[in-house]
């Protein structure tokens, strides 16, 4: 379930603030990456080719559920996989794509992240997959991402970067930072040799525990 919707002006401000926070967190530099938030009739997404610090809230682009953009600026060239993920995954409230350094390094090796650490389960399973390569902005890339995100809330994108979704913008940003931290830990572990992996049984127990992780205590 997604959070109740704030007014559009507030949502635009929150989207811009999230895009700027991505740069502060070193998930992105310049015009790389993009972020969106679900709306009642589609989504708001960052504009194409503009660094967040050069944007204002009114520059955030509305895209309807049929893929039609409105506004004076073009939506991010990656709007298509945002649109398709919202259609496929009703639990997604915000989607974040970044060229974060460690995630991108692993993506350029086309590596799936195995269960080297139990926190991999935070993203829905015992691995984080790497989506097959396709040119940015294409339907082929969106199709590859949908496959990699099956039963997951994060993936790597081959020779490209990382993608996460959350229940809202704050949650998506927090998950992206957490995911990049895991990517760094995996990258560093590989410098020492092949990591010792958790078993399927051990990861299944962790995945089950994550079903209530961070949720209110039952009364």
Which has the closest alpha carbon to 141: 153, 156, 128?
156
d(CA 158, CA 48): 21
Specify the CATH number for the domain of residue 70: 3.40.225.10
Backbone angles phi, psi at 38, to 5 degrees: -70, 145
Contact 60, 46 (CB under 8 A): yes
- Is 3 a member of any domain? no
- Is 47 a member of any domain? yes
pLDDT for the residue 217: 60
What range defines the domain where residue 158 resides? 8-209
Burial of 111-130, coded b for 16+ CB within 10 Å and e otherwise, reads bebbbbbbebbbbbbbbbbb
Burial of 137-170, coded b for 16+ CB within 10 Å and e otherwise, reads eeeebbbbbbebbeebbbbbbbebbbbbbbbbbb
Catalytic residue, chosen from 13, 14, 78, 184, is 78
pLDDT for the residue 133: 98
Sheet holding 154-157: strands in order across? 69-70, 61-64, 42-45, 34-39, 94-98, 161-166, 154-157, 130-131
Active-site annotation holds for 78: yes
- State whether residue 142 is helix, strand or coil: helix
Bridge partners of 161? 157
- Is 146 a member of any domain? yes
- Is 218 a member of any domain? no
Does pLDDT of 160 surpass 90? Answer: yes
* Interval 7-48: pLDDT, tens: 888 999 999 999 999 999 999 988 899 999 999 999 999 999
Work out how many domains the chain is built from and give that number: 1
Would you list the DSSP string of 27-48? S--TT--EEEEEETTEEEEPBT
Does pLDDT of 66 surpass 70? Answer: yes
d(CA 126, CA 138): 28
Does pLDDT of 117 surpass 90? Answer: yes
- Is 58 a member of any domain? yes
Average pLDDT for residues 48-73, to the nearest whole number? Answer: 94
Average pLDDT for residues 171-177, to the nearest whole number? Answer: 98
Instruction: Kindly indicate the confidence band of residue 136, based on its pLDDT and cuts at 50, 70 and 90.
Output: very high
């Amino acid at each position: 379930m997604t959070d109740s919707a704030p007014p559009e002006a507030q949502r635009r401000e929150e989207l811009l603030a999230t895009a700027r926070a991505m740069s502060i967190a070193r998930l992105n530099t310049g015009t790389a990456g993009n972020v969106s938030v679900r709306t009642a009739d589609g989504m708001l997404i960052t504009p194409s080719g503009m660094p967040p610090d050069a944007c204002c809230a009114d520059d955030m682009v509305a895209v309807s559920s049929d893929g039609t953009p409105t506004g004076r600026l073009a939506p991010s060239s990656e709007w298509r996989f945002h649109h398709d993920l919202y259609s496929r995954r009703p639990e997604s409230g915000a989607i974040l794509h970044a060229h974060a350094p460690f995630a991108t390094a692993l993506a350029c090796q086309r590596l799936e992240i195995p269960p080297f650490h139990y926190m991999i389960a935070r993203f829905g399973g015992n691995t984080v997959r790497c989506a097959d390569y396709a040119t940015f902005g294409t339907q082929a890339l969106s199709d590859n991402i949908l496959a990699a995100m099956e039963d997951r809330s994060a993936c790597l994108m081959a020779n490209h970067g990382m993608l996460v979704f959350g229940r809202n913008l704050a949650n998506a940003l927090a998950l992206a930072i957490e995911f990049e931290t895991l990517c760094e830990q995996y990258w560093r572990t590989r410098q020492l040799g092949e990591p010792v992996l958790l078993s399927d049984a051990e990861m299944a127990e962790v995945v089950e525990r994550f079903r209530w992780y961070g949720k209110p205590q039952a009364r």
